[in-house]
């Protein structure tokens, strides 16, 4: 139980296929007490979806948060601290880009679409950490989710690759700023996993096939794989790791050439 007595916030559960749901399952299994966010809406549909996804994990609270609004982030953390007391960890598993700006060649993506994708997929990690640190007097761990398309050109990932590159650098700067408060910032760079967000990426199934054929471990990765590594990064076992991007990708990123005969 590496997260026994740890209290944290997981942002980014949309449904049972979300990477955040895999993290939630693993963290709850390791003893964490968790508050979740859901996208605000007037119908209650989002709350219902998140509740269903984390059903059985004994959530300490589920509250609305739209990361494009500082006020919404502030209210969310106030509610989370009300449920939990001091906070030990934060999971930011959030990204958004308008499909038309992802599906078009990067050179044609719109100014407004780029700004929105950067705001939700990158800046929001800064805004979330800035608010969260007020409730982390004992230090703690924060993580965000990246993808290999932020390091190398992955056709189809397009504009989102630029957002992930910025997110990984953001993580390093956050580690510097938050380190003196014993708050860590790390990224998990996950291999492709079928989810709601992934449906915006062209040729996504081809990407998964590539991993199964060419990754050193000859397999893709799952929400559960990411959940296990996230639990480690959220726990004290990783207390000397910060500013890192850790690949959970069956080793795919080490390859420079694919030998089709292998
Ligand atoms: N699925 C993959 O293959 C893969 C691989 C590597 C990294 N990632 C990253 O993992 C993270 C989670 O993605 P996922 O694949 O689980 O998809 P997902 O669609 O399940 O999760 C994305 C989450 O972002 C939330 N979100 C979007 N806009 C928001 C806003 N304004 N305010 C608050 N929340 C907002 C959505 O509600 C959703 O819960 C993302 O950062 C994604 O880029 C995904």
Residue 262 pLDDT level (bands cut at 50, 70, 90): low
Q: Alpha helix locations (H) across 57-198? A: 70-84, 99-103, 111-118, 124-132, 159-178
Catalytic status, residue 211: no
- Phi and psi (nearest 5°) for 64? -70, 145
Residues 185-208 have a mean pLDDT of: 93
Residues 159-186 have a mean pLDDT of: 98
Residue 146 pLDDT > 60: yes
Cα of 262 from ligand 1 centre, angstroms: 34
Cα of 97 from ligand 1 centre, angstroms: 10
Residue 202 pLDDT level (bands cut at 50, 70, 90): confident
Please name which of 169, 193, 155, 181 lies closest in space to residue 14, comparing C-alpha atoms.
193
- Phi and psi (nearest 5°) for 220? -90, -175
Tens digit of each residue's pLDDT (9 = 90 or more) over 131-140: 999 999 999 9
CATH 3.40.50.720 matches 7-251? yes
The domain locations on the chain are 7-251
Pocket test for ligand 1, best of 22, 168, 197 (most atoms within 8 A of CB): 197
Contact 97, 16 (CB under 8 A): no
pTM of the predicted model over 0.85: yes
Catalytic status, residue 36: no
Distance between CA atoms of residues 259 and 70, nearest Å: 49
Residue 261, pLDDT score = 59
Burial of 254 (0-12, 13-18, 19+ CB in 10 A): exposed
Strand-pairing partners, residue 34, are 8
Residue 119, pLDDT score = 98
Looking from the CA of residue 147, the nearest atom of ligand 1 is 6
Distance between CA atoms of residues 12 and 33, nearest Å: 16
**Mean of the per-residue pLDDT values of the chain:** 97
Structure tokens at 237: 């076992």
């Amino acid at each position: 139980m590496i997260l026994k007595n740890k209290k944290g916030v997981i942002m980014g559960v949309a449904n049972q296929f979300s990477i955040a749901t895999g993290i939630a399952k693993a963290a709850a299994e390791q003893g964490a007490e968790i508050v979740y966010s859901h996208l605000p809406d007037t119908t209650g549909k989002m709350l219902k979806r998140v509740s269903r996804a984390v059903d059985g994990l004994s959530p300490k609270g589920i509250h609305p948060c739209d990361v494009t609004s500082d006020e919404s982030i502030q209210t969310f953390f106030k509610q989370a601290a009300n449920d939990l007391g001091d906070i030990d960890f934060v999971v930011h598993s959030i990204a958004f880009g308008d499909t038309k700006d992802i599906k078009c060649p990067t050179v044609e993506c719109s100014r407004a679409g780029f700004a929105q994708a950067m705001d939700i997929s990158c800046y929001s990690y800064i805004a979330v950490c800035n608010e969260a640190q007020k409730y982390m007097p004992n230090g703690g761990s924060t993580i965000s989710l990246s993808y290999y398309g932020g390091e190398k050109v992955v056709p189809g990932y397009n504009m989102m690759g630029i957002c992930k590159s910025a997110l990984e650098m953001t993580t390093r700067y956050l580690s510097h700023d938050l380190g003196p408060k014993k708050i860590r910032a790390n990224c998990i760079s996950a291999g492709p996993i079928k989810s709601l967000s992934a449906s915006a990426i062209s040729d996504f199934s081809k990407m998964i096939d590539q991993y199964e054929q060419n990754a050193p471990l000859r397999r893709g990765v799952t929400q559960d794989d990411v959940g296990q590594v996230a639990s480690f990064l959220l726990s004290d076992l990783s207390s000397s790791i910060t500013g890192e991007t850790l690949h959970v990708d069956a080793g795919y990123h080490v390859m420079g050439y694919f030998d089709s005969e292998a």
